[in-house]
Amino acid sequence: MRIVNVLAPGSIAIGRRIADISHEANKRLKWFDYYEKVGRNAWKTCRHFGISPDTFYCWKRRYRSDNLTILEERSRRPKRVRQPTWTTETAQAMLVLREQYPGWGKAKLASLLGDHGIKVSVSMVGRILKALKERGVLKEPVRNHISARKRSQNRPYAVRKPKEYVAGVPGDIVQVDTMDVRPLPGVVIKHFGARDVVSRWDVIEASSRATAWSAARFIMAIINRMPFEVKAIQVDGGSEFQSIFEETCQRMGIRLFVLPPRSPKLNGHVERANRTHTEEFYEVIDSDFDIMPLNQTLLNWEMVYNTIRPHQSLNYLTPHKYLLQNYLIDGKEKVYGIY
């Protein structure tokens, strides 16, 4: 068999690709081009493209040079499909039960049908429900989700972080989080923390409540106390990072990335910072933990953290020294009066 590239009627050659077949079909066409090039050696062809001989010979038997559309995937639907075996009476009983108990699953409904003398499997109940929905007979109620796990928030500005967005320089991603600090019985402090993922520069602040207003004020602290432009902030789905917080990010031109539910590991930098601040500050500080004097003490600790404390992840440089050695500071020279 001689394989010749013949354009199908109406097709357009683009390099070694044909415009009227799919990308996958073009990949298979390259198998046979290479097969001819290496002297019809199927073993070399399979090794070059990383395919099995069974796959190659399956497509080789099908291949026709005058009809390249034969290289497209075919439907794998069986010629004989299983037909419904339930009766109209069973489907009607199923419909009545489902409308009476819309929140119950197929296992419970199968058990109820059994109590009424109708013996069906759980999987058959699932197929009956699917058929009823497809026919439009079964109308599911519109749910008003009140569970925190099911609530879907319409975020006007925040988005999921695109996979291609990677922090390359300081300020590209600043992770922000809150945690509860309970230093004394009956005392609860809301700790706001922000960490730049490149330079490990931290900004921290305490508040009596974790609200959207206090989180929005914390944005200004981040902008004023980080010695570089903040381009994007990454937060979890907490209510304090919505409303006015989101509006503030939008007004300041800062991109806002929100994490998927139950994924704190994606904010791992600031989560680790929370532990450090707990162990090295809150657990050793002697204070009555009033918010105003506590924030002044926190500011002093923040300066120590960013300019004196060596960081293992920075090869035992401080964030201050790391920035000086690797980046030009963009003009915010007066942070802590050290620049």
What are the tens digits of pLDDT across the range 19-76?
Answer: 578 888 888 899 999 998 999 999 999 999 999 999 999 988 888 888 888 888 888 8
Rounded CA gap, 157 and 328, in Å?
Answer: 31
Q: Give the CA distances from residue 233 to residues 160, 197, 267, in Å, rounded to whole numbers and listed in that order.
A: 11, 10, 11
Q: Domain residues of the chain, as ranges?
A: 13-71, 88-135, 174-337
Supply the CATH classification number for the domain 174-337: 3.30.420.10
Average pLDDT score over residue span 144-151: 58
Task: Return the percentage of the chain with pLDDT > 90, whole number.
Answer: 52
Q: Encoding tokens for residue 51? A: 């395919």
DSSP category for residue 197: T
- The 3-class secondary structure across 44-69, one letter per residue, is HHHHHHCCCHHHHHHHHHHCCCCCHH
Rounded CA gap, 252 and 250, in Å?
Answer: 5
Those residues whose C-beta lies under 8 Å from the C-beta of residue 94, and which sit 6 or more positions away, are: 109, 113, 125, 128, 129, 132
Q: Give the CA distances from residue 318 to residues 38, 197, 309, in Å, rounded to whole numbers and listed in that order.
A: 59, 14, 6
Whether 189 contacts 291, CB under 8 Å: yes
Of the CA atoms within 13 Å of residue 119, those in its CB half-sphere come to 0
Q: Would you say the pTM of this structure is higher than 0.75?
A: no
Rounded CA gap, 138 and 196, in Å?
Answer: 52
Per-residue confidence (pLDDT) for residue 300, from 0 to 100: 94
pLDDT digits (tens, 9 = 90+) for 203-257: 999 999 999 999 999 999 999 999 999 999 999 999 999 999 999 999 999 999 9
What does the buried/exposed string (b/e) look like for 185-214 if buried means 16 or more CB atoms within 10 Å of the residue's CB? Answer: eeeebbbbbbbbbbbbbbbbbbbeebbbeb
At how many degrees (to 10) do helices 53-62 and 23-37 cross? 100
